[in-house]
Every structure is written in C-alpha cells, then in structure tokens.
Structure 1
Amino acid sequence: MGYTVGQVSALAGVTVRTLHHYDTAGLLRPRQRTGAGYRRYDDADLARLQQILFYRELGFPLNEIAELLGDQQVGALKHLRARQRQLAEEIARLQRLAEAAQRAAEVQATGISLTPQERFEVFGEIAFDLSYATDAQLRWQDSQGYQEAMARAAAHTKEDWAHLMAESAAWRKELLAAFDDAEPADGERMMDIAEGHRLHLSRWFMPCPPRMHQRIADDIVTDPRAFALVVPPSQQRPGLAACLGEAIRANACRRATAGTPQTPSTAHEDE
C-alpha cells in the first residue's frame, strides 16, 4: 500500500504542502497512486526524499537538487565540491562579521565614547580585549567603584584620554627603566612607581585604595589581557608583570605600615 502523504510528512518532518510542491516541481513524484488519485510513497521515494532534504540542508536550490539527483556520479561530486567552497567562504564571512561585532561591542563595554579613528590616535597599540572587559563587567558590575569607573570613562573627552594616556606613557617609561635597571620590586623606586599607578587610577577612574590596588595587581600578574592594558606586548619583558604585582603589594604594605588613612569614599571598596 505504501505511505500516505500525511505519513511521509510525519516521518520526514516536512509539511504536506512541501511534499505537494516537490511533486509539482517534478522533484519527488510518488511512484504510486490510489484509484482515487491519492499519492502513495514507497521506500525508494523515501530514500529520494532523504537525499533532497540532505541537499536542502546544505543550501542547494531545488533546480540544482534536481540536477544532482539526475547525475549521481561526476556531476554530483562537482556540485558538492562547489558548495563546500561556498560554505567555507560563508563561514569566513560570518567570522569577519563576528569579529566586527566583537569590536563594536568592545567599544560599548569599555565605555569609551570615541570614534575608531580617535581611538587609534589616542590609544595606539594599547588594545582592549572584549573578553576581559566582559569578564570585568560580570565580576564587578554591582560594585560602586566599577560603576563609577565606567561612568567617568564614558564622560572623558578625546582631550581627557590623550592627557591620561600621555601620563600613562610617562609612568610606563619609568617602570621599564627601573625594571631594566634591576631595581628590586620592594625597593623605594619600584614602590613609588606602583604608587604612581594607584594615583593615576584614582585620578582618572575611581578611588583606588591600596587593597583594591592589590586586587588589580592580581589581575595584572595572572591575566595577560589585564597586563596588556598597562604595558603593550611590544614593550613587555619576561618577569615584568610579576615584578609590578610585587611592587604594588609592597607599596600597599608600606602604606598600611605608615597608617595612611582612607577617606569615606574609598573605604567601602575594601570591605
């Protein structure tokens, strides 16, 4: 007796209307009909339908599927290889779109209201990694300090960013000089440089008491994405991140020993 159109629809997961369309287009004409003219599909019809659905999944239009089913040897191989190349190109295009979306999201996540050209002019090779910005947002989004930092970053003008980046470059020059001179991480010179970094963050982003600065140091030491925000890869040296982290911790201890008071606006960050 074969299978009714309703049964084939249920088995294959396609609509009855689609099966009727395949029949009208000559792509899948059931081999049998009842006396009343109703369609009846046999096992060979179901096998052909399976091939049609496979090619549809690959994105072939119906006219090409008809050609493929009519030539199961060399012609089919040629079509499949051509489709493989098309899919590879589409994957590459989607990857480019994903990267473009990532860069656009990066701008939003960092809260920096600059055009791409302005960002290049101001930041140069300092790059913001979207994954790090996203991680930071997930970790600190409920923190008053993080919210303040994002608000202040968003409010900075191009001139503000140019000023703070120049300040950062000057600080980085001191850090690299001290490291190249083999200054000890817990020495006065390195601790003063660490203090300069803490004050820079407080001045431009959010109050940064010593204990918060120590948490930032942990990221600098353990996460290359965080260290790249401080020292671009082209200027990094082996051991520099660890040295800076140790200097920040030593400076925090020095300030604690000196009994440096914390203002009410920063004390909550250490809780």
Structure 2
Amino acid sequence: MLETGGQLWSIGELAALCGVTVRTLHHYDRIGLFRATGRTGSGHRRYSEDDVRHLYRIRALRALGLSLEQVREVLASSPDDAGAVRQLLSAQLSALRNQAEQARRLQHQIQALLDNTGSTMPGVDHFISILEGMTMYEKYFTEEQRTELAQRRAELGPAAVDDAKATFARLVEEGLGYVSANTPVDDPAVLDFARRWDGLGSRFHSNDATKSAARSMWQDNSPELSARLPWPPDRLQELVTYLQRVRDAG
C-alpha cells in the first residue's frame, strides 16, 4: 500500500539521492535486504523517509567492510532506533578518520616525491619503489604501530635520525667483518655488537611487537630492501642470518 504521509521517492530518485544505482536497489529488493515501503496503483516502488534511513544503515555497514549477509544479520539483530544509528555513525566516523590519516601519510609521501622532482620526469622505478614500500610497510605494521613509528621519528628529530643512519652504516660494516671472519656467534665482541644493533632499533621500536614486525619485514623482503642500500643484497642477507644466530646464542 502506498503511504500518503511524508515525502516519498521513486526508485530513480532514491538512487540519485543516495549515490547508488537502480540495479543495486533492485538487487537489494530481490534478496530481501531492502524493499520499498509502498507502491503506486500501477506497481511502481515508492520509498519513505524510514526507507532512506534504512538504506543509509546498509551503505554505512558496507562501507565498514561487511558482506551483504553480515549486513543482514546486523540489521536483524539491532533495533532501528536512534541509539543504534548513533553507534553506527560513530563507527563510520572512526573509519573515515582512519582513511583521512592514510590519505595524510600518502600526501606526505607524494610531497616528498614532488620535492625531489626537478625539471625531468623521475624514472618509473622510483614510483614503483614508493608503491612497493607503501604496500610492504602496511602489510607488516598495524595502524597503531605505524603511528608509533611516525611519532618516535618526530620526537627524535632530523638530527637524531641522521645520526641513527650513520650508526647503522658503521654497524653494518662491523657486522660484515664478523661474517667474513666467521667469528663465533658466542664471541663477547659479537654479542656486544648484536646488543648495539638491537639497541639502535629500540630507538624507534618501543615494544616487542613492533620490533618483531620490523624483523619480519626485513627477513621476508631483504632482497628488495637491500637493493636500496649501498651493500650487496646477498651480503646483507648473510648479516641478517648471522645476527639471528647471535641472538639465539645470546
């Protein structure tokens, strides 16, 4: 039966209003997820204000990553009242804030690329390197860990970061010397070296979970990461393996 009170929308009007296709609304209707409150005498769908709110809930839940079946379960188990809508709005706002933070980081990465781009076009390998780094970084570190790493770098400041890079270079050279000499992993000098190596990482990684993520990223992707450093990738991989043996021995 067609409602007579309140504003009503046709399926085309509702699709345009809410940013979906008519085909999507037809699909939702077929699976029983979202149906029009009423119809005209000739059988055309008409949607009410309550239908608009219901469609919002469906789209918001989908935006949060839920499947259509999961959306159906949520809608069936939660009341369609102000409290439930408020909870959903809060969840969607949190998701949007996370997306905004990701966009902010991407903005900084693009700005850094732009700052390093002169009158000539950067090589495609430069762009691929950045894209691979972004994907790798997000794969191994959680959102909280990425935020922590960024905060630690900001707290340390550029001078301390540059000092850490120089210290890292010296440690690599020292470690490669131990590898070349096949120095026993329980040698006191080697154990001290490993402590200094891990201590350098602790400047940036404040907890074991973040340290573990950093080690996993390096171990799984050492050829790609090593290619950006001035030492042969196979030698760096030997050093990583040697360090793990030292940790196990120490």
TM-score range, shorter chain: 0.3 to 0.5
TM-score for the superposition, normalised by structure 1: 0.38
Which has the greater radius of gyration? 1
